[in-house]
Amino acid sequence: MTETSLLGQLKIIEDAARTATGAAADSAALEAVRVEYLGRQDGKLSLVLRRLGSLSPEERPAVGAEANRVKGVIQDALERRAGEMAGAVQTGPAVDLTLPGRRPWVGARHPVTRVVDEICEIFRGLGFTRVRGPEAETEWYNFLALNTPLDHPAADEQDTLYLQEGMLLRSHTSPVQIRTMETHEPPIRVVAPGWVYRRDTYDPTHTPTFLQLEGLAVDEGITFVDFKATLAEFARRFFGPGTEVRFRPSFFPFTEPSAEVDVRRVGTTDWLEIMGAGMVDPAVLANVGYDPERYTGWAFGMGPARLAMLRYQVPDLRMFFESDMRFLSQLGSEGGPGDGAA
Ligand code: DAH
């Protein structure tokens, strides 16, 4: 045996082993390739190495080194092919019938949306229609038409974000009163839920973006008795029979007189404020072209999320708006359609 012929044989073995490795279809075939080329007894590489002895001492190192290189190449090829086969197993059948099934995701209305719908439904039973207004408003609708001069302290309390061209994000739903009266003649009975924006702290009872629900009734001959009786009836339908209602004197530029409405639920001791309200100020009626001598009315504004806090005994308003399913799914659901605030 000469050095050249042994180097030639090593080259042939290298190529053949690579081809056979690439062609191996499963791990058994791959093992057969390993035995054929690298097997200790009759492996083709071992047979070549056994003939090293027939070379002169000067020739041996070069052939020995080449044999080691070829051995490494074949080992690498075998390993790579084995890896490919393992990967192929993972990307194999997509369906594992032994796994438990995936539960369908059941959607539900948000708890605050459900409270909004419930409030509107109670008022629908009392003859009120659900309406909506834009969230981007003008100073006229948000303040001036509501008898609130821009330099009035009441306007300061409702600081908000200003948009381009004199528009602002409405700080309350009261502008929907104006828009409704502008486009409709009395009798008017509407509720208007929707998002409002206000410079406010983010704390357990405030969020700078929140839902309000406005109510307005205007007609000939509407009195304070209608006002008190209707809101007391609402409180009893929402919080249950036996709920006590209290009207505390207050101030809003668009109502005169104005009140904060508190409720005390059966079996509880604390009075809870649920809304601001009052008899519509004659100046507001005049601003929309109604005759204040002929028409009177009352209005209210409440925060449905606060009512939801009471209903579901949630201690922090912010929990409703953090989209944490672990919290929301605990409040249960009766399902059904719902379109949010409006
Ligand atoms: N707009 C008032 C606010 O956001 C709430 C309010 C009070 C609305 C009295 C009314 C009302 O309609 O009569 O603070």
What is the average pLDDT score of the chain?
A: 90
Please tell me the distance between residue 218's alpha carbon and the centre of ligand 1 in angstroms: 16
Please tell me the distance between residue 263's alpha carbon and the centre of ligand 1 in angstroms: 17
- Tell me how many degrees the CA angle 176-177-181 measures, rounded to the nearest 5: 110
Residues in contact with ligand 1 (CB, 6 Å cut-off): 172, 174, 214, 252, 255, 276-278, 299-301
- Rounded CA-CA distance 314/316 in Å is 6
Q: Which atom in ligand 1 lies closest to the alpha carbon of residue 177?
A: 12
Q: Which atom in ligand 1 lies closest to the alpha carbon of residue 214?
A: 12
Quick one: pLDDT at residue 92?
A: 60
- Write out the two tokens for 199: 């410079």
Q: Which domains does the chain have, with CATH numbers?
A: 3-90 (no CATH), 111-330 (3.30.930.10)
| 297-335: pLDDT as tens digits | 999 999 999 999 998 999 999 999 998 988 988 886 654
Query: What does pTM read for this prediction?
Result: 0.70
Q: Which atom in ligand 1 lies closest to the alpha carbon of residue 172?
A: 4
List C-alpha distances in Å: 212 to 18, 143, 244, 315: 75, 16, 23, 19
* Nearest Cα residue to atom 8 of ligand 1: 301
Stretch among 107-111, 195-199, 216-220, 222-226 having the lowest mean pLDDT: 107-111
Torsion of CA 281, 287, 289, 290, to 10 degrees: 0
- Write out the two tokens for 306: 């606060």
* Nearest Cα residue to atom 9 of ligand 1: 277
Please tell me the distance between residue 275's alpha carbon and the centre of ligand 1 in angstroms: 8
